[in-house]
Structure 1
């Protein structure tokens, strides 16, 4: 299958946060860019012109993704759409999972009705990350809804919940919330494999992870709390988002370069 018009929707996961590249829009690469690069090579080999758009914005909850990104994506006439959402929603202690799933079902149905090939994702199991174990239950419920929606609309599912062979210290950015370059590359491979697209991606080398003493680990946790956890809580309290003032990195279809 050769794709020529790929549009990515979502939040920080799809925008590419954690995989910096100053030469790219928003200063980020990410798994979606990596997928687009592989698809562009495939299209070029078939003599097909390829375009890629990425409408994802960090911090967006699923209702905002559907409200702000879905119709602009449809207007671009894609033949491939990836959509990821819900991660910022399940972090909140009060959430209507059934209502959220109903909106997601309607949105994915809208995308599938265009004839585009749609790819969805479950959320990775927070149980592997000590910082987010408390949201494991509602994440599991949300993921079961995602599987049901994917089955109902016949879309491709990348089930990150079942990816249990990765280690947090190897694939996560220093904020312990977003993937690093190794993790983004891993997801790109998973997406391409799920689509049955031949590619040349291979796992990136994993740097040696130092073994910390309990005292060093406590010190590192304190630094993380001051640098990442406290600002996150402050944004929640004040109603702000990390995506405030951020524009989509690739609002229209164009070559990946």
Structure 2
């Protein structure tokens, strides 16, 4: 019989996906909750000495994630680390996926050597997405690199690529890039299930889906382009990031 895992020191690394963007909560640091907080809340019920740190910062590319978060993570002596990075790189006009893989492999290797259970994620299948669908091939290559890295270091893979329920737009925030609260709830379930940790989280209840009229869809597309797409392009042109003034919301191990 396989024993159920118990973790005492959980460190989350990455970008907006792990910071919790799209799942607002004014009572939380950075005003965000997110799937990692939800996972930590469950893990905390399994031991009296649980600590949780979240070093993720929105907008970060893979190289800065490693440069800024790897050493602080190692200093916390985690027994569980989740890391997702590379999604922002994939969105750039040009990306060297092989170089990303080398950097990622070295980082995961260092985390694994410290004795932590390391969890990595594949990227979401963008095949159905009207704007980002052209990047599907990039994501597929990135995912194969992630799976090889996991094989190399005995890491656990949360296979986001295969989570078909996320094709439902009700799991997504209005920016069409980040998961909304239902998405973060569902991701927490997937992470805990992949780890083999018992929980009583329930699949989120989604609002009733009503197909939009052509005018509603056109208006929504125009609003999205003005509110999200154009500012994103402007930041790329200026060399700035949405996370330039953002600090990690939980830089040290603390109870949750």
Q: Secondary structure at the match of 1:224?
A: helix
1:86 aligns with 2:90: no
Does residue 21 of the first structure (1) align with residue 21 of the second (2)? no
Show the counterpart of 2:198.
Answer: 198
Give me the whole-angstrom Cα distance separating, in 1, the residues matched to 2:82 and 2:234: 31
Q: What residue is the counterpart of 2:188 in the other structure? A: 188
2:164 match: secondary structure: coil
Q: Residue 208 of structure 1: CA displacement?
A: 1.3
| Alignment of 1:156 onto 2:156 | yes
CA distance in 2, matches of 1:131, 1:58: 21
- Distance in 2 (CA, whole Å) between partners of 1:205 and 1:6 is 28
CA deviation vs aligned residue, 1:54-80 (integer Å, no higher than 9, x gap): 000000000010100001000001100
Distance 1:128 1:33 in 2: 29
After the TM superposition, which residues 29-44 of structure 1 pair with which residues of structure 2 at under 5 Å, given as runs?
29-43=33-47
Mapped to 2, the partners of 1:49 and 1:21 lie a distance apart of 25
- Higher mean displacement: 6-15 or 121-130: 121-130
Counterparts of 2:7 and 2:107 in 1: how far apart (Å)?
A: 21
Distance 1:9 1:84 in 2: 7
- Say which SS state the counterpart of residue 170 (structure 2) adopts: helix
- Residue 6 of structure 1: SS of its match in structure 2? strand
Cα distance between partner residues in 1 of 2:50 and 2:165: 33
Among 6, 10, 14, the alignment partner of 2:14 is 10
Unaligned runs of 5+ in 2: none
- Which residue of structure 1 lines up, in the alignment, with residue 238 of structure 2? 238
Structure 2 length-normalised TM: 0.97
The whole-number CA distance in structure 1 between the counterparts of 2:209 and 2:233 is 28
What's the TM-score once normalised by structure 1's chain length?
Answer: 0.96
In 2, distance between residues paired with 1:166 and 1:36?
22
Task: Supply the distance in 2 between the matched residues of 1:98 and 1:243 (Cα, whole angstroms).
Answer: 25
SS of match in other structure, 1:184: helix
Conserved 8 A contact 1:128-1:168: no
Over aligned residue pairs, what C-alpha RMSD do you find?
Answer: 0.8
Mark the runs of 5 or more structure 1 residues left unpaired by the alignment. Answer: none
Kindly report which structure 2 residues correspond to 1:1-257, keeping only aligned pairs within 5 A, or say none: 1-43=5-47, 48-256=48-256
Question: Deviations for 1:188-210, whole angstroms, at most 9, x for unmatched residues?
Answer: 11110111000111111101122
**Aligned-partner SS, 1:221:** helix
The separation in 2 between residues aligned to 1:119 and 1:129, in whole angstroms, is 26
> Structure 1 segments of 4 or more deviating over 6 A?
none
Output the CA distance in 1 between the equivalents of 2:102 and 2:128. 28
For residues 61 and 49 of structure 1, the distance between their equivalents in structure 2, rounded to whole angstroms, comes to 33
SS in 2 for 1:42: coil
| Local SS of the residue matching 1:251 | strand
Give the distance between the partners of 1:23 and 1:233, measured in 2 at CA: 31
